[in-house]
Amino acid sequence: MRSSCVASIYRPAEDSYLLQRHVERLVEGSVLDMGTGSGIQAVAAAKKPNVRCVVAVDIDPAAVEAARGRAEEAHVSHKMCFINSDLFANVEGRFDWMVFNPPYLPSEGGVEDRTWDGGGTGRETILRFLEGAKEHLTPGGSILLIYSSEAGIEAEPYGYKLVVIEEKRLFFETLYCARLTLS
């Protein structure tokens, strides 16, 4: 039981480390880590003295528990809370920063794996997130988002200004870390 739950949790990879570098550098105040997985981003944020509180969210209850465990090991759980939610369904409040390493690849058919399957175009989860995020950003708040050249994103029609802050070429795709603000 436990091993099958653990096996479903995304093991930090190139995309995680790309985002983590900018979480460590940029976030402050109140932070939402959407799709927390192992909790790598949430804990990196919570370790920063200028971060007041971190909310770690995942649709997978096993991931929420993994993030809680990582936070306890790092002795930062006192400034965090953990929510099982499909995007913003169970989330309240507004945040100065949101970070999301989403499922960003197009579906391949067969069994859906929420760690990477972003729907038919690969953009479905990201676009739902961008729509919901508007109600949960503080004025002047920012989002750090990972996406792939395999799917791309259109943020402007959703009312965001997007600036790529780092890109990383891999064997079959380029990963982007972007900062988005409401325009």
**CB nearer to ligand SAM: pick between 61 and 183:** 61
Enter the DSSP assignment of 90: T
By beta-carbon proximity to ligand SAM, the closer residue of 98 and 183 is: 98
Q: How far is the CB of 24 from ligand SAM (least distance, A)?
A: 13
Nearer to ligand SAM, 18 or 155 (CB): 18
Name the residues that contact ligand SAM, by CB under 6 A.
10, 12, 16, 19, 34-38, 40-41, 57-60, 63, 86-87, 101-103, 114-116, 125
- What's 150's DSSP letter? T
Q: CA separation (Å) from 108 to 24, 29, 105, 116, 151? A: 33, 39, 9, 10, 13
Beta carbon of residue 78, minimum distance to ligand SAM (angstroms, whole number):
21
Contact 104, 151 (CB under 8 A): yes
Q: Which is nearer to ligand SAM, 93 or 161 (CB)?
A: 93
Q: What is the DSSP letter of 93?
A: S
Smallest gap from residue 37 Cβ to ligand SAM (A) = 3
Q: How far is the CB of 15 from ligand SAM (least distance, A)?
A: 6
Question: Residue 116's closest CA among 28, 3, 11, 5?
Answer: 11
Amino acid at 97: W
Which C-beta is closer to ligand SAM: that of 59 or that of 74? 59
DSSP for 39-50, please give it.
SHHHHHHHTSTT
Min dist CB 8 to ligand SAM, Å, is: 8
DSSP annotation of 105: B
